[in-house]
Amino acid sequence: MSYALAIDQGTTSTRAILFSSELTIVAAAQQEFAQHYPAPGWVEHDPEDIWRTTLATGREALARAGARPADVAAIGIANQRETTLIWDRRTGEPIHRAIVWQDRRTAGACERLRAAGCEPLVTARTGLLLDPYFSATKIAWLLDNVAGARPRAERGELAFGTVDAFLLWRLTGGAVHATDATNASRTLLYDIRRNAWDDQLLDLFRVPRAILPDVRDSADDFGFAAREHFGATIAIRGVAGDQQAATVGQACFTPGMMKATYGTGAFALVNTGRTPVVSSHRLLTTIAYRLNGETTYALEGSIFVAGAAVQWLRDGLGVIRAAEESGALAAAADPAQSVYLVPAFVGLGAPYWDPDCRGALFGLTRATGPKEIARAALESVGYQTLDLIEAARADLPPGAGAGTALRVDGGMAASDWTMQRLADILDAPVDRPAIKETTALGAAYLAGLHAGLYPPLAEFGQSWRRERAFRPTLAADTRTKMVAGWRDAVARTLTARKA
């Protein structure tokens, strides 16, 4: 057995990548699927699209490599986190479309709980904030709004899961209802210190314990994909939320190491070791990975709109035909214009956490055109990353992570212009890895680690290679002026929301 098959189930597409025993990419396949917006601020996926693209890409990757299922040591799953599904235990049929992590329909429920003074308890147990981003209020919404769902859930007829658990259920033919600690830690229902579902939180969010999956290590036994799916049974040995999988793929195993993934949203994680660090700047304390029963924690900042801003340039404004054109368009912008986009299309994430805030453009003149707006969209990702990293450094012990380069991955990381601008805005080094598919790499490594295909963490970490380094080049006064303009734009946007 010389391969690991990674299933990278993301927000807008599903990818399957086959890795060799040397952790090189052998073959890959990708399929996009539909996004559904039934109401303003609501985002849904058809679970059957998720399942269909998972099977199709997995089969295609194997076919492209000419690999037999018997050649695959294990499957690893990385998934969009917080996205919530509930299905019938008998038939496997979902009771509703999946409610996506971006969805804001439960903002009112979160606000009522916050007003009732519940957030300190939630944060103390889960490391998270009361926000519709997470799964618990989505579960309650489904149980309250799908006819008959709540009594069925209480009778144990229904099963809840994030996308990984749904895929495990389908792949194993209903034999396994499980998740891993990283995904459990994103539900608002899991005590990250005790590593257990919390009864008090279950009562608070009105979630029946009977619908919850078993929680396992990130590299563990998750059953077998049934023969009917790939032609033979294949062991499933790794599961992690996509951002945690990318943290593993970037080999951020030492406290203070940082990575940022730029997909539909953007997520920066800082390894904090075996001790959960409580943030004073509204970052999240989360589980980075759990191996052999030992938990490693991280501080995380979540940006809701990153690559989605490029999609907006393409699909909303029509100023580019493909995402790859955005960097060249931005590079041609007039340097004398100071245009800022605050991309709060679905609210602002960390460190602001304002679900009702909406996007705004500042600094427009008669001379402003597509080039300047494209530059503002790409720069907004850099500014939001700066907000996260400054907050994380303020939470960590003095000197922790000092001089450490930010390791980047995701679709936007392929843009040289965007990554150079990121380094300039951060005034810090940015490293892009040789293997850019770090989420899939992390999933494959976790699966192969448990299957005996890959070496321990330390040895894997030594194999990490940089493809390109980006170093800051901006003059200090120019950067200071740019960052001040961003801070002013955010302040004005937040003020306008409250007016």
Region 231-247 average pLDDT: 96
Check pLDDT > 90 for residue 401: no
Region 1-23 average pLDDT: 93
Q: How far is CA 186 from CA 243, 288, 346, in A?
A: 11, 11, 19
Give the separation between CA 47 and CA 80, rounded to whole angstroms: 13
Residue type, 304: F
Give the separation between CA 98 and CA 36, rounded to whole angstroms: 10
| Of 350 and 243, more confident | 243
Structure tokens at 228: 């009917």
Residue 3's pLDDT is 96
Residue 410's pLDDT is 86
Return the ∠ at Cα 186 (arms to 162 and 139), rounded to 5°. Answer: 55
Check pLDDT > 90 for residue 431: yes
Check pLDDT > 80 for residue 120: yes
Question: Considering the entire predicted model, what is its pTM?
Answer: 0.88
Determine phi and psi for 376, rounding to 5 degrees. Answer: -60, -40
Structure tokens at 284: 């999240």
pLDDT in tens, 64-95: 999 999 999 999 999 999 999 999 999 999 99
Check pLDDT > 70 for residue 286: yes
Residue 399's pLDDT is 63
Give the separation between CA 96 and CA 380, rounded to whole angstroms: 34
3-state secondary structure of 178: strand
pLDDT in tens, 193-238: 999 999 999 999 999 999 999 999 999 999 999 999 999 999 999 9
| Of 424 and 322, more confident | 424
Residue 40's pLDDT is 87
Contacts of 9 (CB under 8 A, 6+ apart): 50, 53, 54, 77, 78, 79, 80, 163, 164, 167, 242
Q: Are 105 and 268 in contact (CB under 8 A)?
A: no
| CA nearest neighbour of 299 among 380, 410, 382, 393 | 393
Contacts of 479 (CB under 8 A, 6+ apart): 424, 425, 427, 472
Determine phi and psi for 418, rounding to 5 degrees. Answer: -65, -40
Torsion sign across C-alpha atoms 246, 250, 251, 255: negative
pLDDT in tens, 301-324: 888 888 889 988 898 989 888 888
Give the separation between CA 297 and CA 402, rounded to whole angstroms: 19
Give the DSSP H/E element, type plus range, for residue 132.
none
Give the largest CA-CA distance in the chain.
Answer: 64
Residue 384's pLDDT is 93
Exposed/middle/buried for residue 473 (C-beta within 10 Å: 0-12, 13-18, 19+): exposed
Give the separation between CA 131 and CA 250, rounded to whole angstroms: 28
**Tell me, what DSSP letter sits at residue 323?**
G
Give the separation between CA 374 and CA 317, rounded to whole angstroms: 10
The full set of domains in the chain, from first to last, is 3-242 (3.30.420.40), 251-433+465-499 (3.30.420.40)
Q: Sorting pLDDT into bands at 50, 70 and 90, what band is 402?
A: low
Check pLDDT > 70 for residue 497: no
State percent of the chain over pLDDT 70. Answer: 98
Exposed/middle/buried for residue 390 (C-beta within 10 Å: 0-12, 13-18, 19+): middle
Q: How many CA atoms lie within 13 A of 351 on its CB side?
A: 21
Exposed/middle/buried for residue 354 (C-beta within 10 Å: 0-12, 13-18, 19+): middle
Helix 47-65 × helix 163-171 angle, to 10°: 60
Total Cβ atoms within 10 A of residue 212:
21
CA 142 to chain centre: 22
Residue 305's pLDDT is 87
Give the separation between CA 347 and CA 381, rounded to whole angstroms: 14
pLDDT in tens, 128-171: 999 898 999 999 999 999 999 999 999 999 999 999 999 999 99
| CA nearest neighbour of 252 among 411, 406, 382, 400 | 406
3-state secondary structure of 356: coil
Structure tokens at 104: 């804001």
Mean pLDDT across the chain: 93
Q: Are 141 and 153 in contact (CB under 8 A)?
A: no
